[in-house]
Chain A
């Protein structure tokens, strides 16, 4: 057992640091610290710098621009980007639909879509959830009826993150309403958001921001060349997404930054003769969360290290998702508590800022990250997955 990086990994880390120190402009740092302050134009510039370097799509297959990095190299790259508060790239484009098109796309689809994702021309959103289909996604009803060489799409998607920025949507639709199992009648379509009949309506969330949308499809005619994978195989296509992302799910580095923000606020808050940070109760609770975060960080490294030999441990991703979101939510709430009365102030421009300056967006973040235990498969669903693994298959404990 060893925690230290190998000589090659240290070299790679230095290369990443040197690249980031020169390529990542200071004014870009921190623009997407929290999802509610995304600045698409900055993200696009950062994406162009990465594309020039060839480091935009390291996880894609080599023939499509992937780099064949080891799990540790991916981890180092993400960690160094996170530490410097680099803008977050569109996970839907680079992390999800890109690899899916590499895996399932026709040669024509790959030639058309992949360069446009890399150039930043196209930005994708994910059309999965519907008003009646959240955790029970396979019950989705948005219909795609075949008509000549087109699909006619009718229905509604909801909670569609950043549909208002997106040029395209990868969308799960029902192509066979009579299939024996609901999963068997679903297909994935690549839909141009400019097609006639698509309406995007904003949904305001409790943090006062606009992340989510409703998307309505009113007999939208989608060419059959936009089908990804085989017809009625869309569920398997979507499920293969789960295999791509094992590292970074828990977002430990970002959570550690949130913890440092809380430390800074608490250090500046007077309590008795000292600061809130020195307060027995507050300090103990913060230390417990820091220990939980240390544990999560090491667990994530273990999962990464076990990578190739992790047969039968698919549930590790679910554990990372649950713990990552829950620890982060607790740290944000402790931050709001540290703000004291200012924690109840709606953070618009007229509102009094907290003296530390650090707290300005903390309330919004704390509110927004209530979603972390819901999106990406609600934590209850993740617990079902882990329980199934523990109780139905022999997991070595």
Chain B
């Protein structure tokens, strides 16, 4: 049993931390979103140079063959820096699906391009794990000539306006899902762009009889369910790590504020009412970090019931802790916590925006229950 990162992992973390600190994620205040967007675009290539995009890809496709523990080491740093780099969509979900389902030709075409930072993806999953995705779904229609068309809409696809490819998941249930590459500009595909609360570009996507090329299908028709479930779990673990990083950042900001802000002639840190609440925030952070580690360690090997339960547990715990820590961080900063100029509010918004991704906490709670009760009692 061992909970520390290897020397190489720690070194990589330190490099990434240095890079993110030096480049400084810009303050994406209202009106400066475009600046943040340009920053992310400019530094995508540098992230690729650092190996962040190749880290988790298979070695025979220009990747470094990293596992889920490498993933959390990276995403924790992305969270701490509040960088909001959309690594998960491209380097984990898209790359994971291509790796699991793609033909040798597809792997050769897409994976090295992802590793090099030349290709970004957005995931239009039809809201398969999010009942709150208001009427989202993509339907697969077979034509007489054997070709397929996609039909449907999704209310929210993050990173869609900035992606090179959309990965569209068609089908209603996990047992009958298919995945296709669709170009955002393809005939019949319509994007309506907007921003999410965490200042990321997003769009609603509607597909009207969009022609799907067989060469751009990942795996067999209706056969993508198992791969999607596994890859979404990897994404959920990585996202827990980003959330844990954000929580660490919020805790550090809050501690610094309590030590420096003076009221009634003493630092806020002297008030026991605040001290005890800070401790509860900190305990919630440690518990989230612990379950994120556990989920990542178990996810190094092939999926099992224990591993899935650990992923779901991490997602539930992290979502709860994120709310507690986020809301208390704003409260303890007082009115300053409401200002869009402070990073506190941005971290809280990022945490909220992540909450429903890769499975709502309520979905994961029920999945945890089902997995735990399948043998017990």
- Taking Cβ atoms with an 8 Å cutoff, the residues of A that contact B are 1-6, 9, 72, 260, 263-264, 267, 277, 283-284, 287-288, 290-292, 294-296, 298-299, 301-302, 305-306, 319, 322-323, 380, 383-384, 386-387, 390-391, 397
Contacts and interface: CB of A to CB of B under 8 A. Distances in A.
Contacts of A323: 283, 287
B290 interface: yes
Nearest to B275: A387
B46 interface: no
A15 to B, nearest CB: 18
B276 A380 contact: yes
Interface in B264-286: 269, 272, 275-276, 278-280, 282-283, 285-286
Given A291-B313, A294-B294, A301 B1 contact: yes
Given A263-B377, A299-B286, A291 B316 contact: yes
A391 B293 contact: no
Contact of A319 (B1, B258, B286, B288): B286
A364 to B, nearest CB: 23
5 contacts: A2-B1, A277-B373, A283-B369, A319-B286, A384-B276
Given A284-B365, A290-B372, A322-B283, A387 B278 contact: yes
Given A264-B377, A298-B293, A323-B283, A4 B278 contact: no
Binding site of B, secondary structure by majority: helix, strand, loop or mixed?
helix
A4 B372 CA distance: 20
A397 B275 CA distance: 16
Interface of B: 1-5, 69, 248, 251-252, 255, 258-259, 269, 272, 275-276, 278-280, 282-283, 285-288, 290-291, 293-294, 296-298, 310, 313, 316-317, 320, 365-366, 368-369, 372-373, 376-377
B253 to A, nearest CB: 10
Nearest to A302: B3
Contact of B285 (A5, A263, A397): A397
| Most-contacted residue by chain B among A287, A288, A292, A299 (CB, 10 A) | A287
Given A383-B279, A384-B272, A295 B1 contact: no
Contact of B297 (A2, A260, A290): A2
Contact of B275 (A283, A296, A306, A383): A383
A19 to B, nearest CB: 22
Contacts of A322: 279, 283
B304 to A, nearest CB: 12
A396 B283 CA distance: 14
Contact of A295 (B313, B368, B369, B376): B313
B1 A397 contact: no
Nearest to A75: B1
A296 B259 CA distance: 29
A383 B277 CA distance: 9
Contacts of A306: 3
A305 B365 CA distance: 29
Contacts of B276: 380, 383-384, 387
Nearest to A306: B3
A379 to B, nearest CB: 9
A115 to B, nearest CB: 35
Nearest to B251: A397
A264 B373 CA distance: 11
A263 B374 CA distance: 13
Contacts of A387: 272, 275-276, 278-279
Contacts of A260: 376
Contacts of B288: 295
Contacts of B2: 1-2, 305
Interface centre among A2, A305, A322 (most CB of B within 10 A): A2
